[in-house]
């Protein structure tokens, strides 16, 4: 009997994050509801650059401002994130409503506006996963200590018995994580954002270079919801049989 004929435990949920505003600070969670559109409240807001054609990548992100993750969004009603007003605390301590034009000017004077999509504003798919072993091994290859927030995942999985980069083997299969079932759709193609140290905001180009050289430019995986459910830190992560 091969591994496809039975459920296979992979590990546990080590951490959860959602990102209320695209490229701003993540919010660490103990538990969260996951719907068809990803984690409740995840990437519901983004800043749109008026000077870029909408057929291109029009979002204002960490690519343009490496300290953007020091802007900290929060939901006024955290129990109803998709319906809640959203505030953002700037690095200087000022607080703005996310849609206040003054916040856009704080980020980049002129030519920007905040938009909201209740389906989420994702580059590819609404769920992203990476493992602790993968982050640790990439750090060894790149010769630098790596904060997992460089990779801005939703779910960090601790896989004590797996090899690094085990996520690649999950593509095309279904994971059960707490009450959630999700399909792993593709490897996560990386960009220059992973070169930014979230603590210092300095760029270390060797990280992306290592991913390009060793991992065909991909690290971690993307996925979509098969059956919505609740996920919590320490939930078991299981690879379902027959998928």
pLDDT, tens digit, 9 for 90 and up, residues 6-42: 899 999 999 999 999 999 999 999 999 999 999 999 9
CB atoms < 10 A from the CB of 116, how many? 14
What is the pLDDT at residue 55?
Answer: 52
Residue 122 reports pLDDT greater than 80: yes
- Asked whether the beta carbons of 115 and 212 are under 8 A apart, the reply is no
| CA–CA gap between residue 38 and residue 156 (Å, rounded) | 15
What is the pLDDT at residue 4?
Answer: 61
What is the pLDDT at residue 23?
Answer: 96
pLDDT (average), residues 192-202: 94
What is the pLDDT at residue 1?
Answer: 40
List the CATH number of the domain containing 113.
2.40.33.20
Give the domain range for residue 93: 3-239
pLDDT in tens, 131-177: 999 999 999 999 999 999 999 999 999 999 889 999 999 999 999 99
Percent of the chain past pLDDT 70, that is, above it, reads 95
**Mean pLDDT (the chain, rounded):** 93
pTM score: 0.94
142 Cβ contact partners less than 8 Å away, ≥ 6 residues apart: 204, 206, 207, 209, 210
- Asked whether the beta carbons of 150 and 114 are under 8 A apart, the reply is no
What is the pLDDT at residue 169?
Answer: 96
Q: pLDDT class for 111, splitting at 50, 70, 90?
A: confident
DSSP string, 133-152: HHHHHHHHHHTS---GGGS-
Q: pLDDT class for 56, splitting at 50, 70, 90?
A: low
241 Cβ contact partners less than 8 Å away, ≥ 6 residues apart: 4, 5, 6, 7, 8
| Chain centroid offset of residue 65 CA | 18
What is the pLDDT at residue 6?
Answer: 86
More confident position, 111 or 190: 190
What is the pLDDT at residue 53?
Answer: 61
Q: How many domains does the chain have?
A: 1
C-alpha closest to that of 8 among 242, 243, 240: 240
What is the pLDDT at residue 158?
Answer: 98
pLDDT in tens, 158-170: 999 889 999 999 9
């Amino acid at each position: 009997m091969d591994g496809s004929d039975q459920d296979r435990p992979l590990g546990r949920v080590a951490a959860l994050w959602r990102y209320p505003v695209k490229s701003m600070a993540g919010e660490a969670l103990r538990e969260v509801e996951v719907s068809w559109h990803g984690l409740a409240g995840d990437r519901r807001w983004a800043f749109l650059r008026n000077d870029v054609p909408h057929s291109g990548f029009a979002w204002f992100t960490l690519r343009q401002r490496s300290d953007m993750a020091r802007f900290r969004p929060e939901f006024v009603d955290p129990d109803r994130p998709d319906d809640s007003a959203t505030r953002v605390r700037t690095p200087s301590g000022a607080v703005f409503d996310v849609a206040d034009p003054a916040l856009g000017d704080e980020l980049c004077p002129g030519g920007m506006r905040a938009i909201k999509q209740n389906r989420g504003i994702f580059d590819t798919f609404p769920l992203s996963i990476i493992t602790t072993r993968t982050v640790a091994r990439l750090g060894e290859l790149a010769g630098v200590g790596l904060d997992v927030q460089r990779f801005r995942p939703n779910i960090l999985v601790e896989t004590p018995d797996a090899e690094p980069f085990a996520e690649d083997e999950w593509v095309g299969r279904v994971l059960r994580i707490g009450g959630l079932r999700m399909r792993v759709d593709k490897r996560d193609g990386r960009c220059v954002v992973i070169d930014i140290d979230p603590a210092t905001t300095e760029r270390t180009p060797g990280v992306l270079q290592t991913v390009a050289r060793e991992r065909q430019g991909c690290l971690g995986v993307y996925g979509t919801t098969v059956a919505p459910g609740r996920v919590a830190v320490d939930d078991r992560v299981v690879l379902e049989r027959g998928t």
